[in-house]
């Protein structure tokens, strides 16, 4: 056995315990850091070749492992922009240069420009929702942008889709073609029922559409739509111009009263607005009076955002001061095959590595991705009681290794003094 080898082994043990104490110190310091993932030091023996009766002492190697895949407990807050994950997945965030990173730290607040940013200065990234559609990319970060909930942004959303559900009276009289619109557009025009619907044009102006339902034959109805702004002074017919915005014909089953037309929607272009598709599929022809049951059309007048709600699927819904709501972003989650092998960077963020595998994007609650909770934060998964226990163990082990080194040094003194 070499005395130098014995001393080197003692130094190796002290260095290993110093590494362990470093991870313990980091864990204790970040025990209150949102989304922090604890680090631990794992040991592996280092054995040197030995021959005959001579033993060469080796040492110990250390590997630091970050427990990224271990969930922390949830702490609920009063802020709707605080986000927490349970299960697989990470938020995609970006720095000032929009370089993407992964994190579990979901303590987001709006900055001066309305961008959601966490305590480390990283911006939450999401897909903008355009015309109700999300253009997501599964294997990359393309298409993502900073989630902005600017409080001063005035948005006018034109009407595009709607729902109309009513009961058309089965016992209504059939009205002759010469008496009903659009053939007869005078004040004497006859129809079965009328409903006015509020819609919005491109600038957010309210456009009221008058919808006339007329029974044209047994189990057959015609819908004619007019712009209320063109109605007569007393309201209704005659309209100027006289032509309707659209007309549609619908047929109903004689037994069930269900709508049997191939096209079960009312399509009309809102004046100075967009093409509006109103779903009539739930409308029936039954006994009784004409009864509108549900009338809903999207769109809103210009109004600033008052607050936002974030759904369990990551949809960011803006709530405007005028009471309107609109989905503006959808927050994706990212995951890798081996989360514990991600590169750990300052600011409680992670980056992919060769060992972690390539990133895959999806949405909360789908596939293998975990759940998302608004109004909550994921706490650090470091347990102070466990860290203090490991600190005491490391201290004792460090002291024991220092004794080995000290013994080797004492024996070296004896060897040097033999000649004396």
Cα separation, 320 vs 278, in Å, equals 23
The DSSP letter of residue 138 is S
The predicted model gives 57-70 an average pLDDT of: 89
Q: Is the pLDDT of residue 98 over 80?
A: yes
Which tokens in the block code for residue 340?
A: 């514990």
Q: Do the Cβ atoms of 289 and 169 come closer than 8 Å?
A: yes
pLDDT tens readout for residues 388-409: 999 999 999 999 988 988 888 8
Structure confidence at residue 305 (pLDDT):
81
Structure confidence at residue 133 (pLDDT):
87
Is the CATH number 2.60.98.20 carried by domain 157-302? Answer: yes
Lowest mean pLDDT among 72-81, 200-209, 398-407: 398-407
Cα separation, 245 vs 276, in Å, equals 11
- Higher pLDDT among residues 59 and 78, named by residue: 78
Which tokens in the block code for residue 48?
A: 């040197």
Structure confidence at residue 268 (pLDDT):
96
Cα separation, 176 vs 155, in Å, equals 45
pLDDT tens readout for residues 299-338: 888 888 888 999 999 999 988 887 778 889 999 999 999 9
Q: Do the Cβ atoms of 359 and 72 come closer than 8 Å?
A: no
pLDDT tens readout for residues 105-114: 999 999 999 9
Structure confidence at residue 84 (pLDDT):
96
Structure confidence at residue 1 (pLDDT):
56
- Indicate the domain borders of the chain: 3-67+381-419, 78-149+332-378, 157-302
Structure confidence at residue 4 (pLDDT):
74
Q: Is the pLDDT of residue 151 over 70?
A: no
The predicted model gives 366-387 an average pLDDT of: 94
Structure confidence at residue 194 (pLDDT):
95
Q: Phi/psi at 415 (nearest 5 deg)?
A: -65, -40
The DSSP letter of residue 29 is H
pTM, 2 dp? 0.69
Q: Do the Cβ atoms of 221 and 168 come closer than 8 Å?
A: yes
Give every CB contact of residue 286 below 8 A, 6+ residues apart in sequence: 167, 168, 169, 170, 257
Q: Phi/psi at 11 (nearest 5 deg)?
A: -65, -40
Q: Is the pLDDT of residue 69 over 80?
A: yes
The predicted model gives 176-200 an average pLDDT of: 94
- Higher pLDDT among residues 124 and 53, named by residue: 124
The predicted model gives 376-388 an average pLDDT of: 94
* Average pLDDT value for the chain: 91
pLDDT tens readout for residues 248-302: 999 999 999 999 999 999 999 999 999 999 999 999 999 999 999 999 998 888 8
The DSSP letter of residue 54 is B
Structure confidence at residue 420 (pLDDT):
64
pLDDT tens readout for residues 207-257: 999 999 999 999 999 999 999 999 998 889 999 999 999 999 999 999 999
The predicted model gives 58-79 an average pLDDT of: 91
Cα separation, 27 vs 88, in Å, equals 22
């Amino acid at each position: 056995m070499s005395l130098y080898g014995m001393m080197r082994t003692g130094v190796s043990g002290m260095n290993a315990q110093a590494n362990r104490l470093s991870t313990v110190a980091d864990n204790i310091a970040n025990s209150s850091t949102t989304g922090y993932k604890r680090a631990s030091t794992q040991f592996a023996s280092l054995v040197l070749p030995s021959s005959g009766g001579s033993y060469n002492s080796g040492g110990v190697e250390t590997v630091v492992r970050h427990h990224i895949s271990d969930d922390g407990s949830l702490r609920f807050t009063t802020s709707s922009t605080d986000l927490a994950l349970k299960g697989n997945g990470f938020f995609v965030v970006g720095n000032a240069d929009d370089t993407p990173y992964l994190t579990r730290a979901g303590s987001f607040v709006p900055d001066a420009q309305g961008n959601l940013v966490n305590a480390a200065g990283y911006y939450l990234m999401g897909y903008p929702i355009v015309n109700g559609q999300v253009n997501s990319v599964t294997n990359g970060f393309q298409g993502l942008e900073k989630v902005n909930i600017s409080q001063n942004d005035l948005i006018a959303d034109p009407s595009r889709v709607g729902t109309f559900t009513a009961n058309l009276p089965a016992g209504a009289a059939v009205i002759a073609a010469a008496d009903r619109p659009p053939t007869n557009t005078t004040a004497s025009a006859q129809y079965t029922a009328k409903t006015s619907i509020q819609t919005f044009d491109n600038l957010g102006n309210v456009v009221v559409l008058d919808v006339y339902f007329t029974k044209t034959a047994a189990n057959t109805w015609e819908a004619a739509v007019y712009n209320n702004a063109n109605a007569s002074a007393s309201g209704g017919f005659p309209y100027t111009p006289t032509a309707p915005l659209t007309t549609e014909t619908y047929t109903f089953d004689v037994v069930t009263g269900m709508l049997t037309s191939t096209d079960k929607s009312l399509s009309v272009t809102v004046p100075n607005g967009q093409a509006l598709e109103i779903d009539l599929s739930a409308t029936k022809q039954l006994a009784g009076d004409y009864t509108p049951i549900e009338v809903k059309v999207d769109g809103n007048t210009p109004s600033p955002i008052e607050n936002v709600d974030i759904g369990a699927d990551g949809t960011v819904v803006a709530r405007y001061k005028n009471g309107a709501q609109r989905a503006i972003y959808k927050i994706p989650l990212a995951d890798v095959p081996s989360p514990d092998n991600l590169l750990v960077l300052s600011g409680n963020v992670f980056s992919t590595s060769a060992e972690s595998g390539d990133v895959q994007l999806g949405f909360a609650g789908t596939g293998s991705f975990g759940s998302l909770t608004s109004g909550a934060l994921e706490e650090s998964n470091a347990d102070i009681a466990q860290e203090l226990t490991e600190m005491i163990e490391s201290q004792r082990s460090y002291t024991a290794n220092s004794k080995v080194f000290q013994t080797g040094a004492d024996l070296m003194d004896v060897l040097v003094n033999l000649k004396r």
